[in-house]
Amino acid sequence: MLETRLRETWLTRRPSSSSFPAAMAAILLLVVASFMNWSGILHADQWMPATEEAVFGRGELWRLWTTSWIHSDMGHLLSNSFLFFVLGYFLNGYFGWWVFPVTALVFGGLTNAAVLGTYPPDVTLLGASGIVYWLGGAWLTLYFLLNRQKSLFQRALRSLGVALVLFMPAEAFQPQISYRTHAAGFALGLLWGVLYFLWRKKEFRAAEVTEEILEDDENVESVAAIPDSLREFVSDPSGRRSQARSE
């Protein structure tokens, strides 16, 4: 009996060597921008934060992006930095610079734009939470769609479990936290992850490596690892030898 098993996927290879410096550079930028805001260097506290009145009332649209880099205090900065680094590391490592940091930053601003109009004009929106939750939604979606070595149930259970552990509030409701930003960023990340997967689906599938396992009557296996673009279907009945051909 011939059985096909998936041995490798896009996510089983090592992350790119650029992933660590990319994630570290992003964290450094978070720290520098936050300290600039706290200390008023270059009057950053006046032109970086975002309010509905400043962004939509005065047309200062850059604030949608600059406000993602500043935080209210050190605790706020630290709470975002861990997941920002980890998720940025994996998305850059497996999908490149255009995904992280470029696309992540674009959607961070779009998330702020979607949420800011729902608050009173004088409410200030600060922090990288929109980006962090977008990163989480994007990564979990791509993990679910690409890690086909596991069953659908296993992937769904793992993705849901990770999402609950990482993104469920650890404390009771706090009015100073923008849960709307969290929800909007996560939803946009999920949607983007699906669209990105569909765009590169052929490339992702071509990177998969399968195993053709031939079992004889005595349950002796003959295994050949091949990429999906190659198939080894020519085997002698006993499974003692095989030949490969490309299509």
CATH of the domain at 142: 1.20.1540.10
pLDDT for res 245: 36
Both 159 and 229 in one domain: the answer is no
Pair 154, 238 in one domain: no
Q: Is the domain of 55 the same as that of 160?
A: yes
Q: What SS3 class is residue 235?
A: strand
Whole-angstrom distance, CA of residue 45 vs CA of residue 33? 10
Q: Are residues 114 and 213 in the same domain?
A: no
Number of domains in the chain: 2
Q: Assess if residue 154 is contained within a domain.
A: yes
Express the helix, strand and coil content of the chain in percent, nearest 5 each: 60, 15, 25
| Cβ-proximal residues to 162 (8 Å cutoff; 6+ apart), any chain | 140
In this structure, are 94 and 64 located in the same domain?
yes
- Which residues of the chain are under the pLDDT cut of 70? 1-2, 168-175, 215-247
- Residue 174 and residue 60 share a domain: yes
- The pLDDT score that the predictor gives to residue 105 is 96
3-state secondary structure (DSSP) of residue 242: strand
Query: Residue 145 falls within a domain, yes or no?
Result: yes
- The answer to the question of residue 1 being in a domain is no
Q: List, for residues 176-196, the tens digit of each pLDDT value.
A: 788 899 999 999 999 999 999
For residue 51, the enclosing domain spans: 13-201
* 102 and 23 housed in the same domain: yes
Give the per-residue pLDDT at 1.
67
Residues in the chain: 247
Q: Same domain for 194 and 217?
A: no
Query: Residue 146 in contact with residue 197, Cβ under 8 Å?
Result: yes
Residues 134 and 216 in one domain: no
| Same-domain status, 129 and 169 | yes
Longest dimension (CA), the chain: 78
Residue 235 lies in a domain: yes
Whether 213 contacts 2, CB under 8 Å: yes
Question: 85 and 19, same structural domain?
Answer: yes
CB 63 within 8 A of CB 99: no
Tens-digit pLDDT profile for residues 59-103: 999 999 999 999 999 999 998 999 999 999 999 999 999 999 999
Judgement on whether residues 146 and 24 belong to the same structural domain of the protein: yes
Q: Is residue 5 part of a domain?
A: no
The answer to whether position 8 is within a domain reads: no
